[in-house]
Amino acid sequence: MNDQPVPQSARSEPAELAAASDQTPAVELLGIGKSFPGVVANDDISLVLRRGEVHCLLGENGAGKSTLMAILAGMQQPDSGRIRVAGEDVRISSPRAALALGIGTVYQHSTLIGALSVIENLLLGDSRALRLDVAGARQRLAEFSAILGVQVDPDTRARDLALGGQQQVEIIKALWRGSRVLILDEPTSMLTPQAVHELQSVLERLTQHGLAVVFITHKLHEAVALGDRISVLRAGRLTGAIDREQIKASTPEQLEAAIVRLMFGDALDTDEEIAELQLGVEGHRRTRQADAEVALSLEHAHARGDGSQPGIEDVSLTLHLGEVLGIAGVDGNGQRALAEVISGQRRLTHGEIRFLGAPVGSLSIAAREKLGLRYVTDDRLGEGIVGAMPVSLNLVLKRIGQAPYWRHGRIRRDAIDRDARALVERFDIRTPGIHARAATLSGGNIQKVLLARELSFDAKVVAFHKPTYGLDVRTTRTVRRMIGELRNGRAALVISTDLDELLEVSDRIAVLSRGRIVGEVENGPGAAEQVGRLMISDVSLGAAPLPEPLAGRV
């Protein structure tokens, strides 16, 4: 079905989107089972996706959401169970087969090619045709834009689009060959609140046109706000489903409580704990002693950016022992440069960094690490771990060549294994064993590996970059608790684009905008509004070009 070359179908399909009110479910997953070594990812899961509905799939990291969707998208084959599309049994043997069946997927991370224009990216899907029908594609893009209610310039290069815009193009790409089912994998994790709002209206329009949408998330409030139907997965099993009527009949608070219970089940002892998970922990904030020693200070620090990412200019910050300093700002305003300047991965062009009074601006990464200045990177998979290496080695990778793990240049596996076991235990890293490849762990556990590495071995000051980005509720809570514990004689700098997180963990919040610190706010009542104003104040001056994430939308 639906496998004709695109030019012929180009005109008909978007129109077709409007005409669908069949009662047959778009997709039925029946008794799906899938095991990986040591893990049952999906255990007898049945799911019905109906036309005109947003079906939220909710669960912690590692609950099996992604595996289930990978099966539907043709990336994985189930060990057992059946899949029916439009009432017929099918085998989805490849992503292309899934597309041919009308199942399109938008992955969490962009699959667009930055150097190509929007229209070229979309034409990539038609590469089987000898001659590219550019004019037809433009018209088709216009039709899709109208259906989605968005503006997409076909000639913008993909890399110049804001993340929200890129995602719109990804959605169009997934629908390009006439898909009737759209899978969105954690679509909001990279987006600003405004872009999330836009996505919401796009989804509404799509369901009005009779598409079935699967929305994978681990954020409760999104599921409650967006879902026509919510299914909850836990440890590979479907632990509950909430249908349309229930959603309509309950208040958001009741729904969230019900979902939390389904997500975490008996593991939670008390209602208080549930309430805590729902609302997020209120930080146990203490007023810092006025005479506390300065742990880390940046003095008129300058550093270059890379590519489209800005550097930092004239940044001065002071962090005292026993304090948590938050750095707020819209993503892409110099956060990475700031973090890397502190870790030593990026050189200062001007200024100085002092660690417990001593200048460290010219010290190497390894030297700073040894002093106790640590960095928990936001790019966990890209640079935080070596996926092909075992968990045990990943835990000591920043101490290569140092005692007690190396002696006279020779590795001491027994010492590494012993301490790795202790760290796995202490940080509650869920892994099949300390010799399992780090890449096989779930996102939350990979973050725990990073935390175990950076917070151990006499850490004194720790810089966190988006520490809970992409993590499930429970790991998020653990991470924030660990940040809070650093107040105990140590100090933390938390760079985050999540303002709620900063309000929860920080004592003070500085605002980073276009590479500069534009203000600092003592955390407390009214801090959110002040920080929010600072975040946008600099932009509205309009004198300089807008930072990239905003530029695409104006």
Q: Interface residues with another protein (CB under 8 A)?
A: 1, 3, 35, 37-38, 74, 91, 93-97, 99-101, 343-345, 364-366, 369, 377, 379, 382-391, 393, 397-398, 400-401, 406, 409-411, 432, 435-438, 440
SS3 283: coil
CA distances from 146 to 5, 83, 352, 528 (A): 23, 32, 52, 36
Contact yes or no for 532/328 (Cβ under 8 A): no
The count of other CB atoms within 10 Å of the CB of residue 157 is: 16
> CA triplet 222, 225, 226: central angle to 5 degrees?
80
| Least separation in angstroms between CB 402 and another protein | 8
342 φ/ψ angles, rounded to the nearest 5 degrees: -70, -40
Tokens of 443: 């996102």
- Distance in angstroms (rounded) separating the CA atoms of residues 218 and 61: 8
Residues 6+ apart with CB under 8 A from 171: 106, 148, 182, 184, 202, 206
* DSSP assigned state of 165: H
User: Which of 209/380 has CB closer to another protein?
Assistant: 380
| Least separation in angstroms between CB 364 and another protein | 6
User: Which of 138/304 has CB closer to another protein?
Assistant: 304
| Least separation in angstroms between CB 90 and another protein | 8
User: Which of 98/298 has CB closer to another protein?
Assistant: 98
User: Which of 415/518 has CB closer to another protein?
Assistant: 415
* DSSP assigned state of 380: I
- Distance in angstroms (rounded) separating the CA atoms of residues 496 and 494: 6
| Least separation in angstroms between CB 35 and another protein | 8
Residues 6+ apart with CB under 8 A from 215: 54, 55, 56, 57, 184, 187, 203, 222, 223, 226, 227
User: Which of 311/384 has CB closer to another protein?
Assistant: 384
| Least separation in angstroms between CB 479 and another protein | 19
Residues 6+ apart with CB under 8 A from 153: 118
Residues 6+ apart with CB under 8 A from 274: 257, 260, 261, 264, 268
User: Which of 235/436 has CB closer to another protein?
Assistant: 436
User: Which of 120/323 has CB closer to another protein?
Assistant: 120
User: Which of 200/440 has CB closer to another protein?
Assistant: 440
Tokens of 423: 């760290």
Q: Tell me the Cα Rg of the chain.
A: 25
- Distance in angstroms (rounded) separating the CA atoms of residues 22 and 38: 41
Contact yes or no for 168/452 (Cβ under 8 A): no
Phi-psi category of residue 512: left, alpha or beta, with phi > 0 → left and psi -120 to 50 → alpha: beta
Angle between helices 134-148 and 163-175 (to 10 degrees): 110
| Least separation in angstroms between CB 403 and another protein | 11
| Least separation in angstroms between CB 40 and another protein | 11
| Least separation in angstroms between CB 363 and another protein | 10
| Least separation in angstroms between CB 407 and another protein | 10
User: Which of 460/477 has CB closer to another protein?
Assistant: 460
Determine the straight-line distance between the first and last CA of the chain, rounded to whole angstroms. 40
| Least separation in angstroms between CB 2 and another protein | 9
User: Which of 132/365 has CB closer to another protein?
Assistant: 365
User: Which of 388/541 has CB closer to another protein?
Assistant: 388
Contact yes or no for 342/373 (Cβ under 8 A): yes
User: Which of 224/423 has CB closer to another protein?
Assistant: 423
- Distance in angstroms (rounded) separating the CA atoms of residues 49 and 129: 32
- Distance in angstroms (rounded) separating the CA atoms of residues 494 and 465: 6
User: Which of 177/448 has CB closer to another protein?
Assistant: 177
Please report which residue ranges of 386-490 form alpha helices under DSSP H: 391-396, 413-426, 443-455, 473-485
| Least separation in angstroms between CB 373 and another protein | 12
| Least separation in angstroms between CB 98 and another protein | 9
| Least separation in angstroms between CB 84 and another protein | 15
